[in-house]
Amino acid sequence: MRPGGWKTSFGIRLLLFVLLGLLFYIAVDSRVIPQTFNVQLGAVSEKTIYATEQYQNAIETEKVKEEAARRVQPVYSILSMKNEQLVEAIIAKLRQINADDQLAAADKVNVFRSVFPTMYNDHAEMLYGSIKSSDPANEPLLNEVKAALRDQQYRIPEEVYFKLPRLSKEDLDAMEPVAIDVVGRLMSDQLLNAQTARARVAELVNTSTLTKNTTREMVQEIARFVITPNKFANQKGTEEERAKARENTKPVYINKGDVLIHKGELVTEETYERLKAMDLLKEKVSYLPQLGLIVLSGLLVLSLFMFIRQSEQPIRTGNVQLLMLVLIYVLNVAGMKIVALGQNLEYSNIGYLAPVALGAMLITILIGMPIALISSVIFAILASIIYNQGSVSLFDFRYGLPALVVCLTSIFAIQRAHQRASILKAGIMVSLFGSITIVALIFLDNIYSRTEIILAFAFSVSSGLLTAVLVIGLMPFFEVAFGILSPLKLVELSNPNHPLLRKLLTETPGTYHHSVMVGNLSEAAAESVGANGLLCRVGSYYHDIGKTKRPSYFIENQTNIENPHDSIEPSLSKSIIVAHARDGVEMLKEHNMPKPIRDIAEQHHGTTLLKFFYFKAKKLQQEGEEPIPEEEYRYPGPKAQSKEAAIIGIADGVEAAVRSLRNPSIEQIDTMVRKIIKERLDDGQFNECDLTLKDLETIAKTLNETLLGIFHSRIEYPADTPAASTDAKEAKQA
């Protein structure tokens, strides 16, 4: 194991990434790889088996459809028979035959016997032709009409044929309108059976204008002969309606979580087929889903690894931060899985309640925004699988898209948060944008009921608030367990009412003012090179807290008193000055201050040389004595291990040096800043942090600009040249 123990161990790092992959696999394996059972047809089931997803019960669905089809009433077609035309044709034929004097009465009787059926058949054929032309494909209706006209044809009594030749032209003229009227009136009704209409013929004829018994009798017989059914069973139409009824019948579903078979119950063929259709039988083992899930988990881990590799945060090499990331993933996935249990209770939209943004928000605050962005994508993918219900594809965008939106919203809402209240505001933003996304999806889908819409909206709003509550509750745990200095914690530590800062202000006001000035300088310098400006500012407040043990030995606190160092040995002065770093670390530990703050207090001087006391000691050294080694008058270190500690060290030296100048000029400030940076660079004080020469140049410029603002009213501007005069005017205007 490399120096640094498990915190930098490659083996531990590899193990953590493997655990992440295992977490992804476990999170979705129940959705991708359903449980199977060893069930035999005709045997007794050893377990109670539940439906793993919503499944259409084909047998019950078919029964319901057939029942709906049976309830459909037969469809009838009402045809226009045009029987009045047949009446006119019969009366015309009677006129023609009766007017023929060459035919004997007996011959006329024989003609009538053949004419009436022929005319009936001709009229029927004409009707068949019209049916064929209007609906050629409806052969069943045509057959139904033929059968009805054939079976319900009226048979004229034999004696009627002997009476027909006796009818005169006047009789036929009187009979025709009455016969047409009677037939028209009776055929206006829907007649499935012609006999019902024929029974009313006598009543209508007897109330007509006809006075002769013979004509009334002949009209009755002609009307009965002409009347036919006009309502026919339409088999094709009936089948179409039954087909529509089957089609409109909703399928019968077995819902997720319903019992398919109870323990000890006999496995019937229907149950066996149902289990087979839901892929719950161990008929053949396929490892392809497992392989696919392993590959998917590996891809998710690889994508996360690549983002971590490109990150400039400590997680790039530190296992502590990686362990914290794994723990955040575990908490987020656990929350998602717990909420998913509600889907088995028929709350299909409960997935919107999941605090998916919890992980994204914690990662943004504790680790960094880039890792939070890729994590948001991963959380969205997991949500689209975990909450998938009945979707054809593996991923259900109805949950994946809202999860991505709330995660991204939480990142941008919380990235610059410096107060705990900001977390609650971010939670409200999550609720708002999550609800908007869900409403948009509902409008697009347009299949939700009002109850489902209300529940989805309520779940979404609750999710944002639940996320905020969880983040606020979990933040102290991560800050203490992992020694994390979040922006929120830093802001709390910068409160002037903190006991150490109050002690610094009341006992060493000079040091307090110095620390505030160093904080302003270091924050600006840190932000110019991408370091943590807030950490520099707060760390500066505490970097000289050790001076409170012997405040009078430090020049900024020596107001109207003699300098005690003038009367003591240089070695003792050195010990007192050097001790303030060690004393500060001890005081910070006593108040449980985070390690980054303690490190700044310990490292801000590095191993620099106390030149004044070193040269004083050399001056007091007697001739012949061994030379005093520089190491005795150096700070014990360690050297700055981070950009922030190095920047505070520079700002500390610059502030003290510039403060010693009575009326500093721009050139003096610039010379002083660059001299201090160069001396520390030449002394190797930046060898153990990752500040580059370019960073040092940027820091120098930023410190000059900041000091220019601080000492604006005191800076003397050279007036020897017009150019210098112009520069002075511009600076004053700024």
Indicate the residue among 210, 233, 256 that finishes a domain.
Answer: 233
pLDDT at 257: 64
Residue 1 burial (10 A CB sphere; 0-12, 13-18, 19+):
exposed
* Alpha-carbon dihedral sign for residues 195, 197, 203, 205: negative
- The 3-state DSSP class for residue 261 equals strand
Give CA 555 to chain center in angstroms: 61
CB 201 within 8 A of CB 147: no
* 390 pLDDT higher than 70: no
What string of DSSP letters covers 444-462?
HH----HHHHHHHHHHHHH
CB 504 within 8 A of CB 543: no
Closest by alpha carbon to 375, among 394, 362, 389, 392?
A: 362
* 401 pLDDT higher than 50: yes
pLDDT band at 355 (very low <50, low <70, confident <90, very high): very high
CB 228 within 8 A of CB 151: no
How far is the first Cα of the chain from the last one, in angstroms, to the nearest whole number? 56
Q: What percent of the chain has pLDDT over 90?
A: 36
In this structure, the answer to whether residues 317 and 406 fall within a common structural domain is: yes
In this structure, the answer to whether residues 197 and 307 fall within a common structural domain is: no
- The 3-state DSSP class for residue 113 equals helix
What pTM does this model have? 0.60
pLDDT band at 346 (very low <50, low <70, confident <90, very high): low
pLDDT band at 447 (very low <50, low <70, confident <90, very high): low
In this structure, the answer to whether residues 304 and 391 fall within a common structural domain is: yes
Indicate the residue among 426, 460, 485 that finishes a domain.
Answer: 485
In this structure, the answer to whether residues 480 and 512 fall within a common structural domain is: no
Residue type, 623: E
Q: Is residue 387 part of a domain?
A: yes
Helix, strand, coil distribution of the chain in percent, nearest 5: 70, 5, 30
Element (H, E) at 470: helix 450-481
Residue 142, CB-side half-sphere exposure with 13 Å CA sphere: 15
pLDDT at 713: 45
Element (H, E) at 287: none
Number of helices (H), then strands (E), belonging to the chain: the values are 30, 6
pLDDT band at 623 (very low <50, low <70, confident <90, very high): low
Contacts of 470 (CB under 8 A, 6+ apart): 335, 355, 358
Give the whole-angstrom CA distance, residue 733 versus residue 56: 80
3-state secondary structure 372-399: HHHHHHHHHHHHHHHCCCCCCCCCCHHH
pLDDT band at 20 (very low <50, low <70, confident <90, very high): very high
**Angle at which helices 105-134 and 83-98 cross, to 10°:** 160
The DSSP letter of residue 50 is E
What is the mean pLDDT of the segment spanning 59-83?
Answer: 87
Residue 238, CB-side half-sphere exposure with 13 Å CA sphere: 14
Q: What are phi and psi of 51, to 5 degrees?
A: -70, 130
Higher pLDDT, 692 or 286: 692
Beta-carbon count within 10 A of 366 CB: 24
Q: For residue 216, what are the CA distances in angstroms to 175, 209, 212?
A: 8, 9, 6
pLDDT at 3: 47
Closest by alpha carbon to 320, among 353, 369, 372, 367?
A: 367
The DSSP letter of residue 249 is S
Give the whole-angstrom CA distance, residue 278 versus residue 567: 93
Contacts of 609 (CB under 8 A, 6+ apart): 630, 633, 634, 683
pLDDT band at 629 (very low <50, low <70, confident <90, very high): confident
Domain hosting 83: range is 76-233
Element (H, E) at 254: strand 253-254
- The 3-state DSSP class for residue 76 equals strand
pLDDT at 137: 76
Query: What average pLDDT does the structure give for the chain?
Result: 85
Indicate the residue among 485, 508, 524 that finishes a domain.
Answer: 485
Q: Is residue 595 part of a domain?
A: yes
Give the whole-angstrom CA distance, residue 573 versus residue 555: 12
Number of structural domains found in the chain: 3
pLDDT band at 668 (very low <50, low <70, confident <90, very high): confident
Q: Is residue 446 part of a domain?
A: yes
What are the tens digits of pLDDT across the range 525-546? 999 998 889 899 999 999 999 9
Give the whole-angstrom CA distance, residue 105 versus residue 103: 7
For strand 76-78 and strand 55-56, is the pairing parallel, antiparallel, or unpaired?
unpaired
In this structure, the answer to whether residues 464 and 521 fall within a common structural domain is: no
Q: Is residue 31 part of a domain?
A: no
* 375 pLDDT higher than 90: yes
CB 669 within 8 A of CB 658: yes
Contacts of 183 (CB under 8 A, 6+ apart): 83, 84, 87, 223, 226, 227
pLDDT at 603: 93
The residues facing 49 across adjacent strands are 261
CB 138 within 8 A of CB 234: yes
What is the mean pLDDT of the segment spanning 416-427?
Answer: 78
What is the mean pLDDT of the segment spanning 469-495?
Answer: 84
Q: For residue 336, what are the CA distances in angstroms to 299, 341, 377, 452?
A: 21, 9, 15, 20
What is the mean pLDDT of the segment spanning 50-63?
Answer: 76
Helix segments in 482-593, DSSP class H: 487-493, 499-507, 509-528, 533-542, 570-590
In this structure, the answer to whether residues 544 and 676 fall within a common structural domain is: yes
Q: Is residue 397 part of a domain?
A: yes
Segment among 160-164, 226-230, 308-312, 354-358 with least mean pLDDT: 308-312
CB 356 within 8 A of CB 332: yes
What are the tens digits of pLDDT across the range 284-316? 556 777 888 899 999 999 999 999 988 877 788
pLDDT at 618: 84
CB 388 within 8 A of CB 399: yes
Two structure tokens written together for 481: 């367990």
pLDDT band at 734 (very low <50, low <70, confident <90, very high): very low
Give the whole-angstrom CA distance, residue 288 versus residue 295: 10
* 363 pLDDT higher than 80: yes
CB 30 within 8 A of CB 254: no
In this structure, the answer to whether residues 481 and 506 fall within a common structural domain is: no
Q: Is residue 262 part of a domain?
A: no
Task: Find which of 140-144, 187-191, 448-452 is predicted with most confidence, using mean pLDDT.
Answer: 187-191
* 408 pLDDT higher than 90: yes
Q: Is residue 547 part of a domain?
A: yes
CB 468 within 8 A of CB 414: no
pLDDT at 329: 95
In this structure, the answer to whether residues 193 and 151 fall within a common structural domain is: yes
Two structure tokens written together for 73: 């009433």
- The 3-state DSSP class for residue 327 equals helix
What string of DSSP letters covers 24-35?
HHHHHHHHHS--
Segment among 252-261, 371-380, 434-443 with least mean pLDDT: 252-261
| Owner of token pair 């009341």 | 506
Give the whole-angstrom CA distance, residue 320 versus residue 322: 5
What is the mean pLDDT of the segment spanning 114-123?
Answer: 90
Closest by alpha carbon to 487, among 497, 475, 498, 474?
A: 475
* 665 pLDDT higher than 90: no
The DSSP letter of residue 77 is E
Give the whole-angstrom CA distance, residue 524 versus residue 529: 9
For strand 253-254 and strand 49-50, is the pairing parallel, antiparallel, or unpaired?
unpaired
pLDDT at 640: 93
Give the whole-angstrom CA distance, residue 220 versus residue 199: 10
CB 396 within 8 A of CB 384: yes
Beta-carbon count within 10 A of 217 CB: 16
In this structure, the answer to whether residues 518 and 637 fall within a common structural domain is: yes
pLDDT at 726: 31
* Alpha-carbon dihedral sign for residues 443, 449, 455, 459: negative
Two structure tokens written together for 160: 């009627």
Give the whole-angstrom CA distance, residue 279 versus residue 354: 29
What CATH number did the domain enclosing 642 receive?
Answer: 1.10.3210.10
Give the whole-angstrom CA distance, residue 487 versus residue 183: 99
pLDDT at 650: 94
Beta-carbon count within 10 A of 126 CB: 12
pLDDT at 53: 67
CB 74 within 8 A of CB 233: yes
Q: Is residue 48 part of a domain?
A: no
For strand 49-50 and strand 76-78, is the pairing parallel, antiparallel, or unpaired?
unpaired
What is the mean pLDDT of the segment spanning 584-605?
Answer: 91
pLDDT at 335: 92
In this structure, the answer to whether residues 647 and 577 fall within a common structural domain is: yes
In this structure, the answer to whether residues 395 and 361 fall within a common structural domain is: yes
| Owner of token pair 């501007």 | 717
Two structure tokens written together for 506: 């009341």
In this structure, the answer to whether residues 513 and 481 fall within a common structural domain is: no
pLDDT band at 4 (very low <50, low <70, confident <90, very high): low
Higher pLDDT, 313 or 211: 211
